Amino acid sequence: MKNIGFIGLGVMGSPMAGHISNAGYSLKVFNRTRKKSELWSDEYSGEVTLSPAELAEGCDMVFLCVGNNQDVEEIVLGKNGVLEGLKAGGIIVDHTTTSSVLARTMSVNSSEKGISFIDAPVSGGEIGAKEGTLTIMAGGDEEAFKSSLEVINLYSKFCKRMGGSGSGQLTKMVNQICIAGLVQGLAEGMHFSEKAGLDTKEVIEVISKGAAQSWQMENRWETMLSDFYEHGFAVDWMRKDLGFVLEEATTNGSNLEVTALVDTFYEEIQQKGGGRWDTSSLFRRLRS
């Protein structure tokens, strides 16, 4: 059985690493804040390590799920980073949502040491991580991708390789673009419903049966109506992702008028202290 390393034991990474441990793999874990590693090892079996390099030693595959571009860069390329410890032929799978440029840079640097780097951002949130039902969009070397599936499938019900390095990240960007316009449309619809004096619960009951239906409508209307945003996908993370989107759009010449506009709405929400609220808080912005 392969030796596995997992770096980043946050809200997503902790249950993902847990699934690997539960499947009986020999697992090493690392988290920058040591406390989180200890909390994790209270619940699961695995060796807590002191650096990415120490973790990577003897591993066949190293998985990452951390915060942003800079974290990935430090953990992979930095002093005591993964590339210092991982042997040639090893595979790095990065579940962090980053820019596609970062993914390609990591891939080039890794391949110089005979290591494959797969960008593999996830969708499905904390619940998906816990239940092992994440959707994963991957980019990078096909053979390395196939090898990684025996582990990925422990926490993903659908994982697809979208093409070469960076294409997992680009696919995640398409996802966020669709969501930005969709959630704002839903928020404007519910806002109008309230201003028009309708019973918004009943309105949703009717329109969710037709061409306005969406996952967001079905899964967020109730929390939106009750002004509950302490859950889901935070505005801070959405803005990070939309930053990558808008940067990429400048490069590839996409015209993303509504996405760019909704990004400014999220910026407003952050400025009013709502960075930790769910993306559906676009409704609170209109209501207030």
Catalytic residues: 172
Q: Nearest approach, Cβ of 44 to a second copy (angstroms)?
A: 26
Q: 8 and 66 in contact (C-beta within 8 Å)?
A: yes
Instruction: Indicate whether 253 belongs to the interface with a second copy (CB under 8 A).
Output: yes
Q: What is the dihedral sign for C-alpha 195, 197, 203, 207?
A: negative
Per CB under 8 A, contacts with a second copy among 118-157 are 123-125, 135, 137
Residues 6+ apart with CB under 8 A from 35: none
Q: Nearest approach, Cβ of 120 to a second copy (angstroms)?
A: 12
Q: Give whichever of 65 and 115 is closer to a second copy, judged by the CB atom.
A: 65
Q: For residues 12 and 45, give the distance between their C-alpha atoms in angstroms, rounded to a whole number.
A: 18
User: Which range of residues in 34-42, 75-83, 146-154, 174-182 is near a second copy by CB under 8 A?
Assistant: 174-182
165-193 residues labelled b (16+ CB within 10 A) or e (exposed) = bbbbbbbbbebbbebbebbbbbbebbbeb
Q: What are the structure tokens assigned to 31, written together?
A: 């988290």
Q: 275 and 236 in contact (C-beta within 8 Å)?
A: yes
Per CB under 8 A, contacts with a second copy among 189-228 are 189-193, 195-199, 202-203, 205-207, 209-217, 219
User: Which range of residues in 24-32, 76-84, 145-153, 158-166 is near a second copy by CB under 8 A?
Assistant: 158-166
Instruction: Indicate whether 101 belongs to the interface with a second copy (CB under 8 A).
Output: no
Which stretches of the chain bind a second copy, using CB under 8 A?
A: 100, 123-125, 135, 137, 158, 160, 162-163, 167, 170-171, 173-175, 177-182, 184-186, 188-193, 195-199, 202-203, 205-207, 209-217, 219, 233, 245, 248-249, 252-259, 261-262, 265, 286
